[in-house]
Amino acid sequence: MPTEAETRNMKMLTMKMQYKVLLLMVAGGTILLSFGIHQRVLQLHIFRHFCPKAAASDSLVENPVVAKVESSKDVITEYIKHFVPLKDPLQRKVQSNEELIKHIISEIDQLVPKVSFTHMDNTTCVGKSRVSILNPKDRYCTGDNLTLQIDMYDYLGNRKKYGGDFLRARIYSPHLGAGASGKITDFRNGSYLVHLTLFWEGKVKISLLLIHPSEAVVALWRGRNSGFKYVNHRAKFSSPTQSIDTACGYDLHTEEEVCEYMGKKDEYPFYCVKPQQMSCSSLTHVASSFTQHSYLTALEKPLFDRSHIRAEIPHGLPDLVVLKCTNESAPGKEVCKTGMELQFPGGHFYQNIWQPVSCSMKRFTSQDEINGCLRGKSLRLIGDSTLIQWMKYFTETVKTLKDLDLYDEGWQKSLLKVDPDRNIQIRFQKHGDPFVSMAFYSVLENPTIPEQIAQVGGNKHTMIVFTAATHFKPFPLHIFIRRVINIRKAIQELLLRSPNTKVVLKTENTSFQDHNFEKISDFNGYVQYLVMNWMLQGLDIGTVDAWDMTIAMATNNVHPPPNVIENEINLLLTFLC
């Protein structure tokens, strides 16, 4: 290990190099390349950090991203090979849903590195990562863009030659209740760019996390798409004289006679063992639970120890002091509405209030304001427990809403709140399978999201909100893609018959990774987040981007705290009113 003096000297080591500014931003499969006109000489402070397992070499490796190039054409040739953009699946003409599903999975598969390792020493080590500011300034102003470069190394001090690390970046100011997500570009060679916008004035901290090393991402991607063994299903068949439990699943291996249940609109079939002397139509309830099965190898399992999950990358960068460098007021923005293009990051928190980038969000801070917006409206929430949180928020905030008992059971039961005086109705219903719940629930009242949307006639008084997230994570991705294809078709049909109906997507939340890393990792959720946004682009819907919000505030819980829920609902009501 180097001495304290040597470490201090290394931190002060500078490199002078000429370069043209490259900003590569990726949005929905589109690459935007912009190049600086003038060359500059920068001093890049390279911060070295050491894992306890081994000391790194003292030699500095040439920065692979900031390189001298001769022309814009050379820049494109040099850098495009570092990144394969994920193409918009809707721009590809396909003959069938099956072809579209295969195409989307193939596009994602190209972004997952095809690597293997023989020892943990060959995997990503955050302690030896190098972080540098590509565009340092003597003074930072609100609205400035800050670009960082992260270069990854393994435990032996060897520079990583491939990408695929699952990273997360944010800036935050705890005393201001402020936070914003960062956008990350993977050059697929061990180097990453982090793009941060300095939205607010004050002291700003930087957080860089390695959620999973690339070797774990490879294992997660392979495991998820290897089969259906992460979840067990049980079924209850009932008749006037008996009730029998049997095994069920999407891939049921048995010699016994089975019942096949094919959902509407080309959904994937579900099977149950048929009880003797009972019909397949006597199925009434199902339940499910996680198994102990793992698709990981013995070598891969240590990658999912807690010490390797959500590891902070020690960057050594000081807090930034951001100034308001102009007295000019920000230009006015239109009120947020459905049909706006989704951006990432799409906003930031300041004083615990969400501030969208491209539009203005209204605030509904009192019962009277919420009632004024909801008067004469019918809200249908379709999803999971994160939308039950919304129902609880309405109950606690709007005392005039009354609960109607729908005689359902379990935590996932349907809910209905009404205010007859103001003609307000808010209904929650869980989305159909897959839905992981140890408590039995009725399959007779278990329609999928597209089936529920298809049941809505629609009018200017109606808003539909839906989410599909955590319950899909333990299953192969093709199950999720198939469902999203049908959601898109159902929304298109709804808006054709009733263009005035409002439709809103609530995206995935980030979650607290304390167990079941292999089955419900945020990496699986992030892939679903991308697929959902790609597949629904171009529709006249609103998006409550819970993924962006929960990264910005580092909630790290599938059930975010009340201040995040309040902002989600404020954005929802802005779309409505």
pLDDT for res 409: 76
275-328: pLDDT as tens digits: 998 999 999 999 999 999 999 999 999 999 888 899 999 998 999 999 999 887
pLDDT at 267 over 90: no
Strand ranges for 384-512 from DSSP E: 402-404, 415-419, 424-430, 441-442, 462-466, 502-506
Return d(Cα 367, Cα 337) in angstroms, integer: 22
What the block records as the tokens of 424 is 């307000």
Where is 105: in which H helix or E strand?
helix 97-111
Tell me the sheet residues that pair with 542.
504
Closest CA to 112 of 510, 410, 530: 530
pLDDT band at 66 (very low <50, low <70, confident <90, very high): very low
Res 93: pLDDT: 63
Q: With contact defined as beta carbons under 8 Å apart, do 186 and 26 qualify?
A: no
Closest listed residue to residue 360, CA positions, set 142, 141, 570: 570
Q: What percent of the chain has pLDDT over 70?
A: 82
- Asked if the model's pLDDT at residue 505 lies above 60, the reply is yes
- Render the burial of 500-537: b for 16+ CB within 10 Å, e for the rest: ebbbbbbbbbbbebeeebbbbbbbbbbbbbbbbbbbbb
Q: How does strand 378-383 pair with strand 424-430?
A: parallel
Contact between 182 and 196 (Cβ < 8 Å): yes
What pLDDT, on the 0 to 100 scale, is given for residue 208?
Answer: 97
DSSP, residue by residue, 435-449? ---SS-EESTT---H
Query: Of 140, 236, 254, which is closest to residue 197 (Cα–Cα)?
Result: 140
pTM: 0.84
The residue-averaged pLDDT of 24-38 equals 30
Q: Exposed/middle/buried for 116, CB within 10 Å: 0-12, 13-18, 19+?
A: exposed
Is the peptide bond between 499 and the residue preceding it cis, with omega within 30 degrees of 0?
A: no
Q: Label the pairing between strands 283-290 and 231-238.
A: antiparallel
Q: Which of 67-76, 78-87, 542-551 has the lowest mean pLDDT?
A: 67-76
d(Cα 155, Cα 115) in Å, to the nearest integer? 17
- pLDDT of 1 reads 45
Q: What is the pLDDT of residue 63?
A: 43
Residues 352, 177 contacting (CB under 8 angstroms): yes
- Given this model, what pLDDT does residue 473 score? 95
Give pLDDT tens digits for 510-566: 987 667 889 999 999 999 999 999 999 899 999 999 999 999 999 988 899 999 999
Please enumerate in sequence order all residues whose Cβ is within 8 A of that of 368, keeping only pairs 6 or more positions apart, or say none: none
Q: pLDDT category, 60, cuts 50, 70, 90? A: very low
Percentage of residues in the chain having pLDDT higher than 90: 70
Spatial contact of 523 and 404, defined as CB atoms under 8 Å apart: no
Q: What single-letter DSSP state applies at residue 81?
A: T
Residue 18 has pLDDT above 50, yes or no: no
How many Å is the Cα radius of gyration of the chain?
Answer: 26
List phi, psi (to 5°) of 139.
-140, 135
Query: SS3 sequence, 106-146?
Result: HHHHHHCCCCCCCCHHHCEEEEEEEEEECCCCCCEECCCEE
The span from the CA of 486 to the CA of 507, in Å, is 17
Q: Give the tens place of pLDDT for each residue, 157-190.
A: 999 999 999 999 999 999 999 999 999 999 999 9
Q: Which residues have C-beta within 8 Å of that of residue 252, sequence separation ≥ 6?
A: 258, 271, 272, 273
Q: What angle do CA 285, 290, 292 make, to 5 degrees?
A: 140
Question: Which of these, 446, 392, 442, 441, lies nearest to 417 by C-alpha position?
Answer: 392
For residue 68, is pLDDT > 70? no
The tens digit of pLDDT for each residue in 367-426 reads: 999 999 999 999 999 999 999 999 999 999 999 999 998 887 778 889 999 999 999 999
Q: How far apart are CA 522 and CA 89, in angstroms?
A: 23
